Structure 1
Amino acid sequence: MKVAVVGAGSVGSSIVRELCGHGHQVVVIDEKPDAIGRADLRNNHWIVGDACDPMVLREAQLEQMDVIVAATGDDKVNLVVSLMARSEFGVPRTVGRVNNPKNEWMFDQAWGVDVAVSTPRLITALVEEAVEIGGVVRLLNLQSDRATLNAFTVPREHDLVATTVGEVPWPQEATLVAILRDGLPIAPTDDDVIEAEDELFFLATGDGEGRLHRLFAR
C-alpha cells in the first residue's frame, strides 16, 4: 500500500516507522528540512515543503496514494491537506489527526476526512475500556460519525454467556466484527460460543450503537 504521511513530528514519525515495518511504501512530507536528519527515517522518500501547497502534493505524486495521513500538530493544516487530497488528487482514504478536541466536529467528509483520530478521545476510550465491564465503549468514529467502532466486555453473570453468536438478536445496524479472547482475536461465526470476559467489537451506525446499549443492558 502507498501511504503519504504529512508531518514528521513525534506522531508522524511513529506512524511512518510502523507503516514501514509492515511493508508499506511511505512518502513523508514536512516543511522542516531538519526533520530528514532522523536516522530512523532517512531511508524513506521525503518531500520538503508546505503540504498546503498543491505543488508540493503534486511533487509527492499524491494521486498515486492509497491513503494520506495528515498528522501535523496544526488542525488547520490537517483539514486543508485532507480536503485537497480528496478533491484535487482523488486519494481514496484520508486520516486526519485532531489536536484540539474543540475542532473535532470539523473533521468530517465536508473537509475530505474519512477517519478523524483524536488523541484525547482515544485515551478516554481506552481508559473506559480498561475499567468498564458491561458497558458499550465507543473506540473510534468512522466515515464522519456515520459509523463507530464499539467494544463490549461480557460480564461473568451476563445473559450472553454460553450462548452462540447466531442465537443473539443483534441489531441490524450493528455488525459483530471480532471477538478478543485471552488476547487472541477471533473472527466470529454463528457457532462460536460467547464466554465471560470476551471483548466483542462492533461496527455500528448511531442507531445501532443505541440498540447495542439496550441489548447489553439486559
Structure 2
Amino acid sequence: MRVAIAGAGAVGRSIAGELLENGHEVLLIDKNPNSISVERVPLAEWLLADACEITSLDEAALQRCHVVIAATGDDKVNLVVSLLAKTEYGVPRVVARVNNPKNEWLYNESWGVDVAVSTPRLMSALVEEAVSVGDLVRLMRFSQGNANLVELTLAADTALVGTRVGDVAWPVDTALVTIIRAGRVLVPGGSDTLEAGDELLFVAAQEREEELETLLAG
C-alpha cells in the first residue's frame, strides 16, 4: 500500500515509521526545509513541497496513493489537503488530524475526510473509557456514513447481562464489532453471552447512540 503523509513533523514521522515497519510505501511531504530529516526516516520517500498546491501533489503522484494522511499542525492545511486528495486525485482513503477540537465539525465528507483523528478528543475519551461503566464513550468519528466508534463497559446491574448477542434487538445502523473480556479480544457471535464488565465496541450511526446507550443501560 502506498501512503502519502502531508506534514513531516513529529506526528508525521512517527506515523511513517509505523507504516514502514508494516511493509508499506510512504511519502512524506513538507514545505519546511527544517522538517526534511531524511536520516530520521531513511526508508521513506521525501518531498520538499507545499501539499496545498496542485503542482506539488502532481509531483507526488497522489493518484497512485491508496491513502493520504493530512498530519500537519494546521487544521486549514489538513482540510485543503484532504479535499484535494479526494476530489482531484480520487484517493480512496483520507485520514486527517484535528488539532483544534472546535474545528472537528468541518472534518467530514464535504472536505474529503474519511476519518478524522482528534488527539484531544481521543485522550479524553480514553480517560472516560477507563473510569466509566454503563456510559457510552465516543472514541472516533468516521465521516463516511456519519458513523462513530463507541465503547461501553457493561454494568453488572443491566438487564442484558446473561443475554445472548443474537437475542438483543440492536438499533438499526449499529454493529457490535468486538467484545473485550478479561484481556481477550472476542469476535462476537450470535450465541455468545454478554457478561458484566464486558467492554463492547460498536460502530454506530450518530443518531443511534442515545438509543444504544438506553438499551445497554437496561
Whether TM-score is above 0.5 comes out as yes
The structural deviation recorded for 1:121 is: 1.0
Structure 2 alignment gaps of length 5 or more: none
Q: Separation in 2 of the partners of 1:86 and 1:175?
A: 27
Superposed CA deviations along residues 114-136 of structure 1, whole A, max 9, x for unmatched, are 11111111111111101101111
Measured after TM superposition, the shift of residue 70 of structure 1 is 0.1
Shift of 1:38: 5.3
| Bigger mean CA offset, 176-185 vs 79-88 | 176-185
1 CA distance for matches of 2:14 and 2:123?
17
Q: Which moved more, 1:82-91 or 1:40-49?
A: 40-49
Q: Which residue of 2 aligns with 1:181?
A: 181
Aligned to 2:122: 122
Runs (4+) off by over 6 Å: none
| Aligned counterpart, 1:79 | 79
C-alpha deviation, 1:65, in angstroms: 0.8
* RMSD after superposition: 1.5
TM-score (norm 1): 0.94
TM-score under structure 2 length normalisation:
0.94
1:48 and 1:42 map into 2 onto residues whose CA distance is: 15
2 CA distance for matches of 1:162 and 1:4? 47
Aligned partners of 1:145, 1:133: CA distance in 2, in Å? 27
Q: 1:133 to 1:118 in 2, by over 3 A?
A: same
**Where does residue 98 of structure 1 map in the other structure?**
98
- Counterpart mapping for 1:1-218 below 5 A: 1-37=1-37, 39-143=39-143, 146-218=146-218
Q: For the structure 1 residues 73 and 168, does the alpha-carbon distance in structure 2 shift closer, same or farther, using more than 3 Å as the test?
A: same
Determine if contact 1:6/1:30 at 8 Å carries over to the other structure. Answer: yes
**Cα distance in 1 between the residues matched to 2:167 and 2:13:** 45
Matched residue of 2:36: which SS? Answer: helix
Distance 1:211 1:92 in 2: 32
Q: CA deviation at 1:30?
A: 1.1
Distance 2:91 2:14 in 1: 22
Tell me by how many angstroms 1:68 deviates: 0.4
**1:48-101 per-position Cα deviation (integer Å, ceiling 9, x unaligned):** 111111111111111011110000001111011001101111101111111111
Alpha carbons 1:107, 1:144 under 8 Å: kept: no
Which stretch of structure 1 is more off in the superposition, 106-115 or 31-40?
A: 31-40
Residue identity matched to 1:15: I
Write the distance in 1 (CA, Å) between the matches of 2:95 and 2:159.
38
- Figure out how many residues of one structure are paired with residues of the other and give that number: 218
Displacement of 1:11: 1.1
Report the CA distance between 1:145 and its aligned residue. Answer: 7.2
Q: Which amino acid aligns with 2:213?
A: H
Deviation larger for 70-79 or 208-217: 208-217
In 1, distance between residues paired with 2:130 and 2:156? 16
Contact 2:20 2:43 in 1 (8 A): no
Gaps in structure 1 of 5+ consecutive residues: none
Work out the CA distance in 1 between the residues paired with 2:19 and 2:29: 15
1:201 counterpart letter in structure 2? L
1:105-161 alpha-carbon deviations (Å, 9 max, x no partner):
211111111111111111111111011011111111111671111101112232222
